[in-house]
Copies of this chain bind each other. A is one copy, B any other.
């Protein structure tokens, strides 16, 4: 298996793109990535997407998008793992290039969610949960996460307010990200008084949906001859699953798939949590940030909120997270999110993260979650 590098990155703003269809969103991000890489084609295209069938009445995105970007004929397919679809597609593209099956691969995560009625979008998102044992019982996706947060507060004795730093940090970082959906500085008071969605999850615990696409061009690392500082290698990739329904888990407060995929990723790179300079985690809800940080070994079980309260998740903290706004403020176009994380990690590793640059960022980790912890995919990137 040869080393793979990310040569080009591209993204659209996360927004309500009323003027762009799903193929146009994907194309915008792909052209930006090709332009960034100074290339004009690739051998294969991997697409991360969850909802195109349900919300755009369009499957077969491989044929659609490869044609739209002017590369009809290339291999192309869609990979779906609910909100983890972006990273799942990235991993498929990575294996295709690292194995030598292809020499260049485009990966794009794309989602179009805001043209539908809110109830349609909510129903579509519920397909990430267990249709028989969760959705059919009336549990929306946010309700599932609210139950988990309730148990967490009860079990470990934290107050809801203790989660405020996650939202405040994400919003602060997004202020400077032109691609972010929300550019609103928030305070602890805003967090406390935000409108309730599904108790205890309020509007500032939950990430906003959106339309958007993010893309990369993958090539063998040894094929790159440009300036060394721009060679960003993928040094780990691991995927794991857990039961889809949270009631089936021995411990609903432990993301075992995060632990498994992070452990594999650390092992592949010979690293441990202390070596990670920043972590683009899957903060679909603030409770998920906490559970991810715990399962990935950045703090002890039940201690996640402490990282926020002690200032350790900010840009100059022990483990900076959501450095470009995270799902919470950059926005969460579900099947695209995993690719936004990758693109943002590359920005940091290239030193292009101003003014939210993490100082001396050499090693970044991304983690994308499908469902309430059912599919979790971890990548570690490193600048050469």
A132: interface (CB < 8 Å): yes
Q: Is A100 an interface residue (CB 8 A)?
A: yes
Is A140 interfacial (CB-CB < 8 Å)? no
CA distance A366 to B79 in the complex (A): 22
Check A257–B73 contact: CB distance below 8 A: yes
- In Å, the complex CA distance between A82 and B61 comes to 9
Residue of A54, A57, A60, A92 contacting most chain B CB atoms (<10 Å) = A60
Q: Which residues of B contact A240 (CB under 8 A)?
A: 73-75
Q: Evaluate contact between B67 and A77: CB separation under 8 angstroms.
A: no
User: Across the interface, do A77 and B80 meet the contact criterion of CB distance under 8 Å?
Assistant: yes
Of A121-129, A175-183, A223-231, A325-333, the segment with at least 4 beta carbons within 8 Å of chain B is: A121-129
A244 touching B75, Cβ below 8 Å = no
Q: Is A63 interfacial (CB 8 A cutoff)?
A: yes
Whole-angstrom distance between the Cβ of A145 and the nearest chain B Cβ: 15
Taken together as a complex, chains A and B put the C-alpha atoms of A326 and B67 apart, in Å, by 29
Stretch at the interface among A153-161, A340-348, A355-363, A370-378: A370-378
Chain B residues with CB below 8 A from A58, complex form:
127, 130-131
**Would you give the shortest CB distance from A259 to chain B, in whole angstroms?**
10
Residue of B nearest to A99 (CB): B99
Interface string of A43-79 (1 = CB under 8 A from B): 0000000111110111111111011000011111111
The 6 A-B residue pairs with the shortest CB-CB distance in the complex, in nearest-first order: A63-B374, A99-B99, A60-B82, A63-B244, A58-B131, A59-B127
Query: A128 vs B63: C-alpha distance in the bound complex, in angstroms?
Result: 9
Please state if A371 and B81 are interface contacts (CB–CB under 8 Å): no
The answer to whether B260 and A375 touch across the interface, beta carbons within 8 angstroms, is: no
Question: Interface residues of A, CB < 8 Å — how many?
Answer: 63
Can you report 16 residue pairs joining A to B where beta carbons are below 8 Å apart? Answer: A21-B132, A50-B53, A53-B127, A57-B127, A58-B130, A59-B82, A60-B128, A63-B82, A64-B130, A67-B245, A72-B243, A73-B240, A74-B241, A76-B81, A79-B79, A79-B80
Q: In whole angstroms, what is the CA distance A375 to B74 when docked? A: 9
Interface membership of A30, Cβ < 8 A: no
Q: Which residue of B lies closest to A249 (CB)?
A: B72
Residue A275 lies at the interface, judged by CB distance under 8 Å to chain B: no
Q: How far is the CA of A239 from the CA of B82 in the complex (A)?
A: 24
Q: How far is the CA of A238 from the CA of B326 in the complex (A)?
A: 37
Residue among A67, A129, A242, A256 facing the most chain B CB atoms (10 A cut-off): A67
Per-residue 0/1 for A1-17: is the Cβ within 8 Å of any B Cβ (1 yes, 0 no)? Answer: 10000000000000000
A193 at the interface (CB under 8 A from B): no
A207 on the interface (CB 8 Å rule)? no
Interface flag for A192 (CB, 8 Å): no
CB distance from A157 to the nearest CB of B (A): 29
Does A88 sit at the interface, judged by CB under 8 A?
Answer: yes
- Please give, as numbers and ranges, the residues of chain B lying within 8 Å of A56 by CB-CB distance: 131
